[in-house]
Amino acid sequence: MTLREIIQLVEGAPLTRVIPWDMDINYVTASDLMSDVLAFAKPHSVLLTGLANVHVISTAEMADVAAIILIRGKQPSDEVIRQAEEKGKPVFGSPHSMFELCARLHNAGMQGADVNAL
Amino acid sequence: MPPIPEFGRVQELIYELQIKQVMSREVATVTPDQSISDLKNLLRVKRISGAPVVENGKLVGIISVEDLIRALSKGEMAASIRDRMTTSLITVNEESTLIEAVRKFAQLGVGRLPVVNDRHELVGIVTGGDINRALLEALGLRYEAEEKHHIVHKNLFEEISSDETSIRLKYAIASKDFGNGGKASSRMKRALETIGVPPEVRRRAAIVSYEAEMNLIIHTTRGGELSVCVSPERLQICTTDAGPGIPDIDKALRPGWSTAPHWICELGFGAGMGLVNMKRCADEMKLESTPDVGTRLEVVIYPQLHT
């Protein structure tokens, strides 16, 4: 699925300015625990999280997460956006809950990033 | 004229970017009860040619240098702004995209628009200059992103002739410095990219060093050191610190075991998965600790196993 299709499904709005809309996304990670993200996230994946601090951006950078979706209308600080842009990690906001977003993406055929872990 | 490749992108951006991403948030405003004379001072000091009129947080009008000149010619500088302001307001919503502002500039021949939120509160002002600057910045960022994508890093080791080559990176980590948490690992990951370490190896190394860096920040009394030694066959990550040490290493390695204070969890860490994650990314891991003396962690990754 392309990033564009994913963002349409989650009714997301871009919070950063450079969006590679046609990038392929193969997996989803959903967690507020950055250690879990570091454990399971894969390249070509999107991260759903309720955490909106700079550690989310660092985690995405370390684990090669392709894009970040902040759930339930969480507003990141300007510093978070600045770092996201500097590190080339597109960030979106979605008004929906984690459960709702996971259901939408799963129903659309997306796989969890932890699908073949362990 | 040859086609301008960036033009399509500019159009895309005009439909993508929201007003609130480009507007100025610091707006010089006046209240309806101030005088035209007050307005004159404000326009002179701020070097602007008009100001929104705000009453109880709500935007109620706009007043410009033309209104000022009219009052001046009639000798009515003491008049209140309420009597001279324009109340038929043209605004843009902060959530609208740039195209909204661009259309209004063109249709109405104005150079600036007050920006309001859904409650009709003034949140900023947007000018043609703001839009141009934002478009240029966004194009610049996109260009940088593409540049990064296109750079194929050579393997530094292949360009260096020696019997044995290794590169050593060192980073000092300060205790309790959460604001900079991840900075060292970020620098390290970029350095590994410059050296030409393959992506999957880089990713594993970054996860190990990020968890290790957070551990030094959260747990140590005086911080510690993160060092990385890279050779073509072997990537070794080491952290050392001077205490407090881990009382029970077996427990520390148990998934979910945590001694981190509760508030660390709000940052997304402290769930007792750090060492477990490191082990998962490592080909070899050694953890030695003496209470009150310090801890030494060593992780080795063999690039050949992951490419």
3-state helix, strand and coil shares in percent for chain B, rounded to the nearest 5? 45, 25, 35
* Alpha carbon distance B182, B179 (integer Å): 9
A105 to chain B, minimum CA–CA distance in Å? 23
Average pLDDT over residues B244-259: 88
* Alpha carbon distance B91, B100 (integer Å): 10
Q: Is the pLDDT of residue B150 over 70?
A: no
Q: What is the mean pLDDT of chain B?
A: 88
* Chain A, nearest residue to B274 by Cα: A35
Residue B62 CA, distance from chain mean position: 34
- Chain A positions with Cβ closer than 8 Å to B: 13-14, 17-20, 32-39, 43, 49, 51, 53-56, 58-59, 61-64, 85, 87-88
* Alpha carbon distance B106, B123 (integer Å): 22
Look at residue B106 in the predicted model and tell me its pLDDT. 84
The two structure tokens encoding residue B204: 């594993």
Q: Which residue has the higher pLDDT, B6 or B173?
A: B173
Q: Which of the four pLDDT bands, split at 50, 70 and 90, describes residue B228? A: very high
* Residue that is written with structure tokens 């001072």 in the block: B41
B17 to chain A, minimum CA–CA distance in Å? 7
Nearest to A5 by CA among A28, A22, A27, A29: A22
Average pLDDT over residues B2-12: 64
* Alpha carbon distance B108, B127 (integer Å): 13
Instruction: Give the fold, CATH level 3, of B5-134.
Output: CBS-domain (3.10.580)
Question: In CATH, what is the architecture of A3-112?
Answer: 3-Layer(aba) Sandwich (3.40)
Q: How many CB pairs under 8 A join A and B?
A: 90
Torsions phi, psi of A32, nearest 5?
A: -100, -5
- Chain B positions with Cβ closer than 8 Å to A: 13, 16-18, 21, 134, 137-138, 141-142, 144-145, 148, 179, 181-183, 185-186, 189, 199, 203, 206-207, 209-211, 267-269, 271, 273-274, 276-277, 280
Q: Which of A55, A56, A63 sits opposite B207 (nearest CB)?
A: A63
Contact A38 B210 (CB under 8 A): yes
* Alpha carbon distance B233, B15 (integer Å): 49
* Chain A, nearest residue to B264 by Cα: A33
* Residues whose CB is less than 8 angstroms from the CB of residue B66 and which lie 6 or more positions away in sequence, other chains included: none
Domain boundaries, chain A: 3-112
A2 to chain B, minimum CA–CA distance in Å? 17
Average pLDDT over residues B29-49: 92
Contact A17 B13 (CB under 8 A): yes
Q: Which residue has the higher pLDDT, B234 or A116?
A: B234
A107 to chain B, minimum CA–CA distance in Å? 27
Contact B141 A59 (CB under 8 A): no
Domain B156-306 sits in CATH 3.30.565.10: yes
Least confident of B1-15, B49-63, B79-93, B269-283: B1-15
The two structure tokens encoding residue B79: 């008049």
Look at residue B152 in the predicted model and tell me its pLDDT. 58
Q: What percent of chain B has pLDDT over 90?
A: 49
Look at residue B2 in the predicted model and tell me its pLDDT. 52
Q: Is the pLDDT of residue B8 over 80?
A: no
Q: Is the pLDDT of residue B9 over 80?
A: no
Q: Is the pLDDT of residue A98 over 90?
A: yes
Domain boundaries, chain B: 5-134, 156-306
pLDDT tens track for B172-222: 999 999 888 899 999 999 999 989 899 899 999 999 999 999 999 999 999
End-to-end, the C-alpha distance of chain B in Å comes to 47
In eight-state DSSP terms, residue A107 is H
Average pLDDT over residues B103-119: 86
Q: Which residue has the higher pLDDT, B272 or B302?
A: B302
* Chain B, nearest residue to A56 by Cα: B268
* Alpha carbon distance A52, A75 (integer Å): 7
DSSP helix/strand/coil, B123: strand
Nearest to B9 by CA among B149, B134, B146, B135: B135
Average pLDDT over residues A6-21: 93
* Residues whose CB is less than 8 angstroms from the CB of residue B258 and which lie 6 or more positions away in sequence, other chains included: B270, B271, B272
Q: Which of B182, B206, B207 sits opposite A55 (nearest CB)?
A: B182
Q: What is the mean pLDDT of chain A?
A: 92
* Alpha carbon distance B253, A98 (integer Å): 30
* Alpha carbon distance A48, A93 (integer Å): 10
Look at residue A118 in the predicted model and tell me its pLDDT. 43
Least confident of B107-111, B185-189, B215-219, B245-249: B107-111
Look at residue B223 in the predicted model and tell me its pLDDT. 93
The two structure tokens encoding residue B7: 């033009």
Look at residue B186 in the predicted model and tell me its pLDDT. 94
Residues of chain B positioned with their CB less than 8 A from the CB of A54? 179, 181-182
For A90, the enclosing helix (H) or strand (E) is: none
A34 to chain B, minimum CA–CA distance in Å? 5
Look at residue B174 in the predicted model and tell me its pLDDT. 95
Q: Which of the four pLDDT bands, split at 50, 70 and 90, describes residue A18? A: confident
In contact, A34 and B211? CB cutoff 8 Å:
no
Q: Which residue has the higher pLDDT, A61 or B143?
A: A61
* Alpha carbon distance A16, B17 (integer Å): 9
C-alpha R_g of chain A: 12
* Alpha carbon distance B11, B8 (integer Å): 5
In contact, B242 and B222? CB cutoff 8 Å:
yes
* Alpha carbon distance B39, A87 (integer Å): 44
* Chain B, nearest residue to A57 by Cα: B182
Q: Is the pLDDT of residue A29 over 50?
A: yes
Q: Can you give A26-54 as a three-state secondary structure string?
A: CEEEECCCHHHHHHHCCCCEEEEECCCCH
Q: Is the pLDDT of residue B63 over 80?
A: yes
Tell me the H-state helices in chain B: 5-16, 19-22, 36-46, 65-73, 81-84, 98-108, 128-150, 156-159, 183-195, 199-219, 249-252, 262-265, 274-281
Look at residue B179 in the predicted model and tell me its pLDDT. 83
Q: Which of A20, A55, A63 sits opposite B268 (nearest CB)?
A: A55
